[in-house]
Structure 1
Amino acid sequence: MYEGQTFEVILNRMLARVPDSVDKRPGSIIYDALAPAAAELAQLYMELDINLALSFADTATGEYLERRTAEFGVQRKPATKAWRKGLFYASGDVPMDVPVGSRFSLGDLNYTAVSRIAAGQWLLECETVGVIGNQDFGLLLPIDYIEGLARAELADVLVPGEDAETDESLRQRYTSAINEQAFGGNVADYKQEINAINGVGGVKVFPVWNGGGTVKCTIIASDFNPPSPTLVDEVQTLIDPLVNSGQGIGLAPIGHQVTITGAQPVTIDVVATLTLSADTTIGQVQSDVEDAIRAYLLSLRQAWADESALIVRTAQIESRILAVPGVVDITGTQLNGSAGNVVLGDDQIPVMGTVTLNE
């Protein structure tokens, strides 16, 4: 609205109000008197532009976006801690339990034993918030001495840790909340409630999937991988703790029998024949090609909740492989043993399999 109010425009408009009988050239008294005021006004208009942009949800950022979305009950998701599975063994690889509250370290991160899953298997909570808690695997070191403990390992991600929600994600949830009014257990209501649960990255809702009053909700984890049974159980408990009870004890309305399931992984194996540039070998490009395919499959999983079904396309994989330095051409691409695309079901997501490259 104020973009055109530059220093030159403002100063010329001010000088136009001065009679032509007065010297208005640069360096004149009236020019030098008006120039500082014009500069301040130009700065003021710039700040007005910024403030105007911060007052609307589609252009606001940070604190100002939070204040706008909060007016409609949409709050920014805070950073959360990862829940991991810890494996503990005494001598001879005998499963061993550890005390609740025991602390262990791996690299720069510490983990606390929260609850027992099974003999020698414990739920560990990362003491640092964010996705960083999802990344490490391997041997754990006890911070305090635990008698009889011979080996400790950090294993599966049970509930992914999340960084604080980005402005774009918050803006999208706000737009959805405004445009898709959630009410009384409609599809928008289920999406809003389940997406707000820590560890959930997306959900598909299947109403009346097994008769009247039944609802199936299929979720994907916030790291866009298949959710762990622990995460599925947690969501089930929050939505409908007595499975298919219809009693409205959880967030589901009375009469709704809700079943929570996880997105099912489909392994994608890739075979291709490459033409490489001079002095380039398959071994040199193998890792980069795998990274390119992995990134493509991740992008599909990120879009899963908004698509009726995903299609892993041969052309897309080939285009990404061709972008790898050292790759000149590609032929004979096969996905899961076939030259065609792989069409997935509505509750399936693609995950990385083997990549076999020939020359």
Structure 2
Amino acid sequence: MYEDQTYEALLERMLDRVPEGLDKREGSIIYDALAPAAAEMAQMYIELDVNSNLYFADTATGEYLERSIAWSGVVRQAASKAQLKAVFVNSAQEPLDVPLGSRFSLDKLNYTAVEKLAPGTYRLESELAGSEGNRYFGVLLPVDYIANLARGEITALLIPGEDAESDDALRQRYLDAARRPATSGNKYHYMEWAQQIAGVGGAHVFPLWNGPKTVKVVIVDTGMLPASELLVAQVQDYIDPAAGKGEGQAPIGAVVTVAAAVAKTINVFAKVVLASGYSLQGVTDVFQSGLEAWRKSRGFETTYVSHAVVGALLLATDGVLDYRDLLLNGSTGNVALSDEEVPLIGTVSLGV
């Protein structure tokens, strides 16, 4: 907005106001008096330009973004804690119950037992909020002594922990809310309700899926993978815990069924021409990481896995000069996804 208000432009304008006949050359008294003022004014215009951007949602960041959209009711989602399943056994390898509130450590993180799922099986919560709590699986060490405990082990991730919502994600959620108002139990209202539960990464809503007054909500977790039974139960309890009775967020009469998305495995095969100095395994690992990044960004928004997109990702992989015979699930075409399916990257086999 103020790009033309540079030090040189300001100084020239100020010197133009000095009466003719006075010495205005560089090094003169007038020049040396005006130059510092022009520099300060140029800095002021820079800061004014920056500050003006902090008032608008499309350019604001951090606290200013939160304040600029506060009127809408959309707020930044705080970091959430990972929920994991753990199994405990005694010396006879029999399931062992541990006290709720017991604390355990694994590598650098601590976990707390918060719910009994079955004999010897518990839901643990990471004491550290954020995605860091999703990383670790393996043998647990009790922080305090637990009688008869021979082994404890984390076996599954139930609900992924999330980092605090980024500016880009918060901005997009605000824009979605403004462009697709969620109100009066419309389709977007169900999407909003589902995504208010920590751990939900996306939702598809199917009105009248099983007749009048029925709604189906299909969800994925923040990794864009099928939601766990625990996460499905939490969303169900929040939206419609008693079918059609209006005891949750859904209006009276609406019978809501929450379900996890269905994973569709995508196996990839191709032959590649490698650049000098690159190994086939190294290129395969990088390509697989690229596929996974694409899956997370687009997996619940697309209706098919594009053969061309996968080819472009392969060609963009460092060390790949060319490729041929690219197959997705044994075919040279796209892989269709139903409305309830999300892609899951299976085997990635590259040859030369």
TM-score range, shorter chain: over 0.9
The answer to whether the 8 A contact 1:300-1:350 is kept is no
The corresponding residue for 2:327 is 334
2:201 equivalent to 1:208: no
The corresponding residue for 1:321 is 314
Aligned-pair identity (%): 51
The corresponding residue for 1:10 is 10
Q: Which runs of 5+ in 1 are unaligned?
A: none
2:144 equivalent to 1:144: yes
The corresponding residue for 1:59 is 59
2:345 equivalent to 1:352: yes
Map 1:65-214 → 2, pairs under 5 A: 65-214=65-214
CA distance in 2, matches of 1:280, 1:172: 39
Map 1:259-270 → 2, pairs under 5 A: 259-270=257-268
Amino acid across the alignment from 1:312: V
Give the TM-score, by structure 2 length.
0.95
CA distance in 1, matches of 2:20, 2:131: 67
Cα shift at 1:294: 2.6
Farther off after superposition, 320-329 or 39-48: 320-329
The answer to whether the 8 A contact 2:110-2:127 is kept is yes
In the superposition, relative to structure 1, how do residues 233 and 328 fare at CA in structure 2: closer, same or farther (>3 Å)?
Answer: same
CA distance in 2, matches of 1:88, 1:267: 32
Amino acid across the alignment from 2:333: G
1:7-48 CA deviation, whole Å, 9 max, x = no partner?
Answer: 111111111111111111111111111112111211111111
The answer to whether the 8 A contact 1:216-1:261 is kept is yes
SS in 1 for 2:247: coil
The answer to whether the 8 A contact 1:300-1:310 is kept is no
Cα shift at 1:284: 4.6
Farther off after superposition, 38-47 or 54-63: 38-47
The answer to whether the 8 A contact 2:244-2:255 is kept is yes
The answer to whether the 8 A contact 1:91-1:150 is kept is yes
Aligned residue-pair number: 352
The answer to whether the 8 A contact 2:197-2:234 is kept is no
Cα shift at 1:192: 1.9
Cα shift at 1:248: 0.8
CA distance in 1, matches of 2:57, 2:42: 25
CA distance in 2, matches of 1:36, 1:356: 65
Cα shift at 1:281: 5.3
SS in 1 for 2:22: coil
Farther off after superposition, 7-16 or 185-194: 185-194
SS in 1 for 2:97: coil
Amino acid across the alignment from 2:347: T
CA distance in 2, matches of 1:327, 1:140: 42
Q: Which runs of 5+ in 2 are unaligned?
A: none
The corresponding residue for 2:218 is 218
SS in 2 for 1:105: strand
Amino acid across the alignment from 1:144: D
Amino acid across the alignment from 2:52: L
Amino acid across the alignment from 1:79: A
Cα shift at 1:268: 1.0
Cα shift at 1:358: 3.3
The answer to whether the 8 A contact 1:194-1:235 is kept is yes
Cα shift at 1:253: 1.1
- RMSD value over aligned CA atoms? 1.7
CA distance in 1, matches of 2:170, 2:282: 41
Cα shift at 1:349: 0.5
Cα shift at 1:325: 3.8
Give the TM-score, by structure 1 length.
0.93
